[in-house]
Amino acid sequence: MFDSLKEELRAAKNKDPAARSNFEILCCYPGVWAIILHRWNHWLWTHNLPFWGRFFSQISRFLTGIEIHPGAQIGKRVFIDHGMGIVIGETTIVGDDVLIYQGVVLGGTSLSKGKRHPTVEDAVVIGSGAKVLGNITLGNSSKIGAGAVVLNDVPPGATAVGVPSRVIYEEQKTVEDLNHDFSDPVASAIDLLLERQVELEKQINILNQKLDIEKTGIIRDSEIEEVFKEVDE
């Protein structure tokens, strides 16, 4: 239990640049309280005490402004920043290392029972005010823009924004994959000019040799061929 608490605190510290100490996080972060209380409520829900799970989840909502249904499955190191106005429905599945900002709804679109809420895979970021609705999947490491309304699956690594949401970026490359070109642009321009100069010198050479042949009056096909052969090499 203490290991899990430590993980929640570490997640808050890693994901909120404003967080300073574990003590501060424990005292001032309703998002962390909501997750800790949810662990307890989920335990009650899955141990045949659904009323108490619901009851304490409402107490948690009263304290934090964050409503997480006790049936929702929440992974490790999930961090809710700022809290307030968040709703996470009963059949929602949230993976590890997810970051959720204020005003996010992970809700259902159908009144039928069964899986009707989103599945959020690992390391997803859901921007403030985003509404993610229905039994859809937000792929690993995807990002949902603030204020988006997401009604369809979002592929892993993609960024979706807008109402209804559209994917603006496909899978983001990792820093290692990016392979930035940090070469000096002036040096690159000079290299290009030098290459061009060599080309031009070759052409001038051809013309000079042609002129020489014409001047000396020796216009033998074999000699011209030889000149071109030399230039080609």
Ligand X SMILES: CC(C)(COP(=O)(O)OP(=O)(O)OC[C@H]1O[C@@H](n2cnc3c(N)ncnc32)[C@H](O)[C@@H]1OP(=O)(O)O)[C@@H](O)C(=O)NCCC(=O)NCCS
Residues in touch with ligand X (CB under 6 A): 82, 101, 127-128, 143, 145-147, 159, 161-162, 168
CB of 111 to ligand X, least distance (A): 29
Decide: 64 and 88 in contact? Cβ < 8 Å: no
Q: What's the closest the beta carbon of residue 130 comes to ligand X, in angstroms? A: 8
Task: Count the neighbouring beta carbons within 10 Å of the beta carbon of residue 102.
Answer: 19
Give the separation between CA 54 and CA 68, rounded to whole angstroms: 9
The least CB distance from residue 90 to ligand X, in Å, is 25
Q: Which is nearer to ligand X, 44 or 97 (CB)?
A: 97
Query: CB within 8 A of 161, min separation 6: which ones?
Result: 144, 145, 148, 168
Please name the residues in contact with 188: beta carbons below 8 A apart, sequence gap of 6 or more: none
CB of 28 to ligand X, least distance (A): 15
In total, the chain counts a number of residues equal to 233
Please state, in angstroms and rounded to a whole number, the distance separating the CA atoms of residues 16 and 55.
Answer: 30
Task: Quickly tell me which residue has 């989920």 as its tokens.
Answer: 42
Strands 159-161 and 166-169: antiparallel
The two structure tokens encoding residue 97: 């290392």
- Shortest gap between Cβ of 82 and ligand X (angstroms)? 6
How far the first Cα of the chain sits from its last, in Å, is 75
- The token pair at 7 is 């993980």
Distance in Å, CB of 141 to ligand X, minimum: 12
Alpha-carbon distance 163 to 56, whole Å? 34
